[in-house]
Structures are given as structure tokens and as C-alpha cells.
Structure 1
Amino acid sequence: MNKKEYIAATAEKTDGISKATVEEVLKAFTETITEGLIKGERIPIVGLGAFETADVEERIGKNPKTGQPVNIPAHRKPKFKISKTLKDAVR
């Protein structure tokens, strides 16, 4: 399912809400999650899961083309942990 299909399906399930409104809400939802993750917050969504960040230590990687070692600096990365409810529903 792509973004347009998701917006259309969501608008269909929410009687009377236009596709444009659904798209605005989706954009605001994404921005809010992004802002929270930048602040280092954990963002739980009941029945779906939780967005959070993880610290990744500095490490030595390998350039796939040349095979030369490359330093990969420490950084934070976003994670999503799926809820038990969603796991059970998909199974």
C-alpha cells in the first residue's frame, strides 16, 4: 500500500473526512513523532507499538567497493517496537 492508497482507505473508513484532511493529519502525526524522537522521547501508540531511539556506538565498517576500513561515528537511530496486540493480530 502506498501513501495515496493509505490516505484513500483511511478517508473511506472515517465517514465525511476528506482525503486532504487525512493527508494533513498524517503529515502532522509524522512531524510530531519526528519532533519527539529528536528530543529523545518514547512515543507509544496503543495497539500499534512504540517509537523510540537507540544509541549506536562508534565502530569500524568496511567500504563494500574497496574493502577499506571506514570509521562509522556514534549516532542515534530511530526504532519501532511492535506491540503484542499487533503481533498477535498479524499471526
Structure 2
Amino acid sequence: MIKSELIEKLAAENPHLFHRDIENIVNAILDEVGDALARGDRVELRGFGAFSVKNRPARVGRNPRTGEQVDVGEKYVPQFKAGKEIRERLNGG
């Protein structure tokens, strides 16, 4: 599901709300999650999961085409851990 599909589904389930208001709400939520991760904060949505930031230290990699060593710098990547309720729904529990 992509963001526009999510907005359409929410609009269909909530006909009393304007489409633009639903779009603004979804964008605000996603922007706040992104901002929190950029600050290094953890975002937990009970029953769904938790987003956090993981540090990947610098390392030496290899160019797959030439086999030449390449320095790969330190970086931060988002990480998601599914919550108990969503894991149970996925596994039919």
C-alpha cells in the first residue's frame, strides 16, 4: 500500500471528513515520525511497532565490478520492529 492508497481508504471509511483533511493528517503524522527519527528519537506506535535509528559504523567494502576496496562511511539507517499485535495478525494468531 502506498500513501495515496492509504488516504483513499481512510477517506472511504470516513465520508464525513474532507479528503484534503485526511491527506493533511496523514502527512502530518508521517512528517512527525520522520522528524523524530532525524533527531535520533524512537517512535513507538502501540500494537503496530517501533521505529528507531541504527548506527552503521564505517567499514571497508568492495566494488563488485572491479573488486577494488572502497571506504564506506558511517551512516544512520531507520529500523522497524513489529509489535506483538501485528506479528500475531500476520501469523494468524
- TM-score normalised by the chain length of structure 2: 0.87
Pair 1:90 & 2:90 matched: yes
Which one-letter code corresponds to 1:69 in the other structure? Answer: Q
CA RMSD of superposed structures (Å): 1.3
Deviates more, 1:12-21 or 1:41-50: 12-21
How many residue pairs get aligned? The number is: 91
CA distance in 1 between partners of 2:67 and 2:10 (Å): 47
Which one-letter code corresponds to 1:39 in the other structure? Answer: R
- Alpha-carbon deviation of 1:69? 1.3
Per the alignment, residue 23 of structure 2 pairs with 23
- TM-score normalised by the chain length of structure 1: 0.89
Which one-letter code corresponds to 2:71 in the other structure? Answer: N
Per the alignment, residue 43 of structure 2 pairs with 43
Per the alignment, residue 70 of structure 1 pairs with 70
Pair 1:8 & 2:8 matched: yes
The percentage of counterpart residues that share the same residue type is 27
Unpaired runs of at least 5, structure 2: none
Unpaired runs of at least 5, structure 1: none
Secondary structure of the 1:16 match is: coil
- Alpha-carbon deviation of 1:47? 1.0
- Alpha-carbon deviation of 1:10? 1.1
Per the alignment, residue 53 of structure 2 pairs with 53
- Alpha-carbon deviation of 1:15? 3.7
